[in-house]
Amino acid sequence: MTRTMLTGNAAAAWGARLAEACYVPAFPITPQTEIIETLAGWFADGSMRGRFVTLDSEHSMMTAAGAAAAAGVRTFAATSSQGLLYAMEVLYTVAGWRVPFVLVNVSRGLSAPITLGPDHNDVLAARDSGFIQLHAETCQEVLDSILMAYRIAEDDRVSVPVLVNLDGFFLSFTREPVELPDPEEVRRFLAAPESRPPGFSASRPAARGVAVLEGPTYSYFRYQLHLAVEQARVVHEEAAEEFERRFGRRHGMIDGYQLDDAETVLIMAGSFATKGRAAVDRWRAEGRRVGLLRLRMIRPWPTAELAAALSGRKAVAVLDQDLAPGLGGILFQEVAAVLARCPVRPSILRSFVGGLGGKEISRAEFDHVLQVTEQAGPNEGPVGPVLLMTAREAEQVGQRLRIAGHVPEEALP
Amino acid sequence: MKVTREHYRSVKDLPSAEFVAPGSPLCAGCGGLTTLRLFHKVLGGKVVVVNAAGCMTLMATYPFTPLRSSWLYTTMASPSAGAQGLRDALDILIESGRLPADENLEVLVLAGDGSTIDMGLSSTSGAIHRGLNFWYLCYDNEAYGNTGFQASPASPLGSLTATSPLGTPWSKKDIFEIWRSHRPPYVATISPHDAVDLAEKIERARPLCGPKLFVSLATCPPGWGFEPAMGDELAKLAIETGIWPLKEATDGSIRHTFIPEHRRPVEAYLEPQRRYRHLFHPDRRDDVIAAIQAAVDRYWDAAIASERC
């Protein structure tokens, strides 16, 4: 075990290296580039064995990754934002092939307008593809999640690809102390590649992705995919247990902070949850009973864990870093769906949208979240999401609109 | 005029093994299926077919397949990337000793003209550029056949399709030249009518490492509008009129493997097909027929001139 300073991107590359992934089809996109550049260097100097191949697009890259995984080779891929969307067709295809590999997404807002800053609309667009989704908060968790991801993906009960998400810039380029697990221990944690038979060979002809022209058979295969993703809950818990035993760190499907006696729960995902923890510390210092719940696993959706963690609370606020136009916060909707089935559900449930395109979420905005949530009346019916933006930021936007010749509309809260 | 053949003199010399069994949901008289059957026969059984969405996707419908080889269906735009992942993975497995060398497979992309020339061109261009060691077979029925015969960039000038009901206003994209410009070791055109020429070309390509690309004129009874029994006759007429030149390019140098000495007029090929009926009935469209003939003549004048020098 070594402790070193790594960016989130470098931690992702180390995850692939320690897992001894031996195939990396690559296509660059900001802010993921550091991952593939690091891997390219390791394949070049012999630290990693196998093949690193530059592809012509994310669509091709994802196809090559799926095909290599179908052939039985441990494969790693990474992308971001528009690249994930460009490959979206193939995400559904390779999940349908039921092949295990790990895809890292370095999340970034979507065009248009084009931007580099992070939010979760890219990765959440993949939520129904069949990929399992793990969302990391720290650089350490990026590395650990990749190791756990191979373990889950390659389990015969699952056999679907896993996506590990980290926030662009805030995590991709932030250097944090990271413990590099001992390679021998990782080898013991992950199944040996030799234990998986090659998917295609001369004496064992096989077919994948064969056309199915009747609804019942199609329904069967789609539902099998659903059951496999569901099965990942069990496999994840087993993997988490063994991971903790070997490496001393435990990663759950959800991650609670100051939850025990919390009356109000703030729900977040990704690296901004660290800011949420700081807000909780401040509120706790003021004597307010607030806790944070971070969603680490988003597919399969941690329904039972959420229900158990939220049952009996007074209020829940979901802070989405995504926006589904015409609906609102995506995770809010999914949390609300869980609570609708809770016998003792919180009477207050509020939705906030913040941090889009890497926009900072300030102390004042966190305070606004708490204030709105605590002042909300119980069962007050559907309320649209509150867009978080400070007066200063709103004035900045107004200034730009005026420079560009637009008369600012009264769209900002 | 035919070139000297090194491996096969007549169809009797072709291997007897079959890897495409009888029975599939494909159309009767499909020239593409005949091409695949012949191609597979000569290439051998140790093959994984990487298929792009198209007519041939319906060849294997779960749980049935006429293929005795392996099959991977990819998206319409990325069969060559699928071939890349498979080839690389098979090489890794062999190098690491997980797969014995005699279990190795040839990777064969099977795609229609739509995928080949439109959506899939980017991934194939990338694969050729990277020198991927794979086979590519395009069955060119000159339209999006699987969806009901809409115009593709392979649809020839004047031909009727579901989306060019007045006749296609453009000429075919020249996929042979697009591929050749990437400088792969081998590119060829083939025809289901000439099995020996097809087989000979596979053997010439076999020792070459890198992209080996083939485009076959896939006669299409429902799309072109002719009786299935007439398929071979039309494929033959395409060669005899000079509309479908049989050629190859080894390391970029082109040679024709059959040069029709007296080319038949293009009408002989056009008139039996429903997709060209509007050129003959109710009024004869001499302008369009002449334009098609002129393009063929121009092609052969240039080809013959360059091969003589």
How do residues B241-263 score in pLDDT, each as one tens digit?
999 999 999 999 999 999 999 99
Say whether pLDDT at A382 is over 90. Answer: no
> Quick check: A67 and B71 CB within 8 A?
no
The C-alpha atoms of residue B107 and residue B84 are separated, in whole angstroms, by 9
Write out residues 191-220 of B within 8 Å (CB-CB) of A: none
Residues in chain A: 413
The C-alpha atoms of residue A319 and residue A255 are separated, in whole angstroms, by 15
User: In this complex, is the C-beta atom of B288 within 8 Å of any C-beta atom belonging to chain A?
Assistant: no
Based on DSSP, count helices (H) and strands (E) in chain A, helices before strands: 14, 16
Alpha-carbon gap: A219 to the closest alpha carbon of chain B (Å):
13
B16-22: average pLDDT: 95
> Quick check: A22 and B130 CB within 8 A?
no
> Quick check: B98 and A65 CB within 8 A?
no
Say whether pLDDT at B23 is over 90. Answer: no
Per-residue model confidence as pLDDT tens digits over B210-235: 999 999 999 999 999 999 999 999 99
- Residue A244, pLDDT score: 98
A256-267: average pLDDT: 98
Of A64, A90, A200, nearest to B75 by CB-CB distance is A90
Q: Which residues, in sequence order, are CB contacts of A383 under 8 Å at separation 6+?
A: A350, A351, A376
- Residue A411, pLDDT score: 54
The C-alpha atoms of residue B168 and residue B143 are separated, in whole angstroms, by 10
Say whether pLDDT at B309 is over 80. Answer: no
For residue A224, the tally of other CB atoms under 10 A from its CB is: 12
The C-alpha atoms of residue A76 and residue A21 are separated, in whole angstroms, by 6
User: In this complex, is the C-beta atom of A398 within 8 Å of any C-beta atom belonging to chain B?
Assistant: no
Of B85, B98, B126, nearest to A67 by CB-CB distance is B85
User: In this complex, is the C-beta atom of B110 within 8 Å of any C-beta atom belonging to chain A?
Assistant: no
What mean pLDDT value characterizes chain B?
A: 96
Is the torsion defined by CA of B228, B230, B234, B235 positive or negative?
A: positive
Three-point CA angle A202, A207, A211, nearest 5°: 155
Furthest CA-CA distance within chain B:
68
Q: What is the pTM of this model?
A: 0.97
Chain B residues whose CB is inside 8 A of the A67 CB are 50, 72, 74, 81-86, 89
The C-alpha atoms of residue A84 and residue A124 are separated, in whole angstroms, by 10
Per-residue model confidence as pLDDT tens digits over B135-181: 999 999 999 999 999 999 999 999 999 999 999 999 999 999 999 99
Q: Is the N-terminal amide bond of A112 cis, ω within 30° of 0?
A: yes
Chain B residues whose CB is inside 8 A of the A208 CB are 71-73
The C-alpha atoms of residue B161 and residue A348 are separated, in whole angstroms, by 60
pLDDT tier at A54 (50, 70, 90 boundaries)? Answer: very high
For residue B66, the tally of other CB atoms under 10 A from its CB is: 18
pLDDT tier at A376 (50, 70, 90 boundaries)? Answer: confident
> Quick check: B58 and A90 CB within 8 A?
no
Query: What are the distances in angstroms from CA A240 to CA A8, A65, A109, A267, B89?
Result: 21, 26, 30, 22, 30
**SS3 of A327, please?**
coil
ipTM attached to this prediction: 0.97
**SS3 of A268, please?**
strand
DSSP characters over B85-150: HHHHHHHHHHHTTSS-GGG--EEEEEEEHHHHHTTTHHHHHHHHHTT--EEEEEEE-SSBTTTT-B
Q: Which residue of A has its CA nearest to B93?
A: A73
The C-alpha atoms of residue A268 and residue A320 are separated, in whole angstroms, by 7
Residues B182, B185, B190, B196, Cα dihedral to 10°: 180
Radius of gyration of chain A (CA): 22
Per-residue model confidence as pLDDT tens digits over A158-211: 999 999 999 999 999 999 999 999 999 999 999 888 888 899 999 999 999 999
Is the torsion defined by CA of A180, A183, A189, A195 positive or negative?
A: positive
The C-alpha atoms of residue A325 and residue A368 are separated, in whole angstroms, by 23
- Residue A193, pLDDT score: 82
Per-residue model confidence as pLDDT tens digits over B70-100: 999 999 999 999 999 999 999 999 999 999 9
Alpha-carbon gap: A208 to the closest alpha carbon of chain B (Å):
5
Per-residue model confidence as pLDDT tens digits over A312-365: 999 999 999 999 999 999 999 999 999 988 888 998 999 999 999 999 999 999
| Nearest alpha-carbon partner for B51 in B34, B83, B74 | B74
Is the torsion defined by CA of B83, B84, B85, B89 positive or negative?
A: positive
> Quick check: B123 and A56 CB within 8 A?
yes
| Nearest alpha-carbon partner for A320 in A413, A387, A411 | A387
User: In this complex, is the C-beta atom of B96 within 8 Å of any C-beta atom belonging to chain A?
Assistant: yes
Enter the DSSP assignment of A302.
Answer: -
**SS3 of B249, please?**
strand
> Quick check: A55 and B74 CB within 8 A?
no
